[in-house]
Structures are given as C-alpha cells and as structure tokens.
Amino acid sequence: TTEIYTLSLHDALPICDMYNKDRIKTLSIAMLKTVCEYFGVCTGGFHARRKAEFLSVLGEIIKGCGCLL
C-alpha cells in the first residue's frame, strides 16, 4: 500500500486526515492540482474551475493509503 503520511507534502498538508474528515474539499483548485501532480497525475485535461475531477482522482489515490485502515 502507499502510505501517504510519509510524504513531505504531509508535513504541511495532512491529506489523508483531510480526506477522512471530508475536509479535502476545502482545498483550492491550485492546491488540488499541486497534490495531483505530486502523485504523477496528468491534470491537463481537467476543467480548470471544477474541483470534482481533482477530488475524484485524489480520492482513489487516498483510498489506497495504508494510514486509513
């Protein structure tokens, strides 16, 4: 499993915790894009003003994280 909590990004942004508490939606589109790109997700085809695409792909990544078990 991927353990997202080990990411350097997690020090400033507790991604799994935010997802678990349904707070990931509060992130800006720019931040969601940054997180997606950190995980190697190509966001070029995503609509620039809609969070849903970013949240969907991040949700799938985060669901595979070992810290949510």
Neighbours of 61 (CB within 10 A): 19
Treating both helix axes as pointing N-terminal to C-terminal, what angle do 29-38 and 51-63 enclose, rounded to 10 degrees? 40
Give residue 24's pLDDT: 92
Q: What is the pLDDT of residues 37-49, one digit of tens each?
A: 888 999 999 988 8
* Cα four-point dihedral sign 21, 67, 32, 60: negative
Those residues of the chain that have pLDDT short of 50 are 1-7, 69
Gyration radius of the chain over CA positions: 11
pLDDT of the residue at 14: 83
Residue 22 zone, left/alpha/beta (φ > 0; ψ -120 to 50; rest): left
